[in-house]
Amino acid sequence: MKALITIQHKEYTVDLSKGMDISIPLKASQHNVNAWYIGAPEIYPVTDGDWVGKVSEGASTNFNTIVFNPHAHGTHTECVGHITPEFYSIQDTLKQYFFEAELITVTPEKEGVDEVITREMIQEKLKNKTPEAIVIRTMPNPETKKEKQYSHTNWPYITADAALFLRSIGIKHLLIDLPSVDKEKDEGKLVAHKAFWNYPNAIRFEATITEMIYVADHISDGSYLLNLQIASFENDASPSKPILYQLY
């Protein structure tokens, strides 16, 4: 199924039957990707006395309860409500779902005991492009990222200066394959989140951050159409399913 779209006054063809899913599915397993020091997600059938909500055990339907945390257990998209005392919902702040996106691959550089993604490496990869969304794949990129246990690993992070640069060129949607754009243990400073959302001054309520994606190696760097799908949660964050489409 092909469609003709216009991005920044240029026409492209998109094959909507060839979407590339860059989300990590949630599963009830210790091998589910995890962060923030909590247990694995759970999926289990509802029970009522002797009745079990499972077809293999005699029920007419499978009827499962799912227990998980969107920030810790997989791909999720969050709004500024993630860091504000006031309640803001991703359901209310994300109102558009298709964006021009640029996929870049970076190798974080050592800075003391940390590994960081800097303004300079993002600038070099973007080559003066100013897309609506940026998708950042970090190297190395093994498939084991999809089940990595991130707690206490001091993962790479985006510097505040890099987040400020992304904001300055008008990028509204930041997607990355790490549990957070910020340092794991930063005393609650959240400097990259705050720089990207311009918090607390002139907050960019329409901007989102998507974390814990996985971009397979066969997907080349370049320009794509991004479909940023979320579940209808009244919460600061929702599990999400970003899909990339090649532009022709």
**pLDDT at residue number 169:** 98
In a domain, 37, yes or no: no
pLDDT band, residue 205 (cuts 50/70/90): very high
In a domain, 139, yes or no: yes
pLDDT digits (tens, 9 = 90+) for 95-108: 999 999 999 999 99
In a domain, 47, yes or no: no
**pLDDT at residue number 26:** 97
Q: Residue 186: which domain range?
A: 2-26+70-246
pLDDT digits (tens, 9 = 90+) for 130-166: 999 999 999 999 999 999 999 999 999 999 999 999 9
We report the CATH number of the domain holding residue 6 as: 3.50.30.50
In a domain, 185, yes or no: yes
Bond into 45 cis (ω within 30): no
In a domain, 231, yes or no: yes
In a domain, 216, yes or no: yes
**pLDDT at residue number 199:** 98
Q: How do 157-158 and 173-176 pair as beta strands? A: unpaired
In a domain, 55, yes or no: no
Query: How many independent structural domains does the chain possess?
Result: 1
Query: Which run of H or of E encompasses 10?
Result: strand 10-15
Question: How far is C-alpha 55 from the chain's CA centre?
Answer: 34
pTM for the full predicted model: 0.96
In a domain, 64, yes or no: no
Burial tier of 135 (Cβ tally within 10 Å: 0-12, 13-18, 19+)? buried
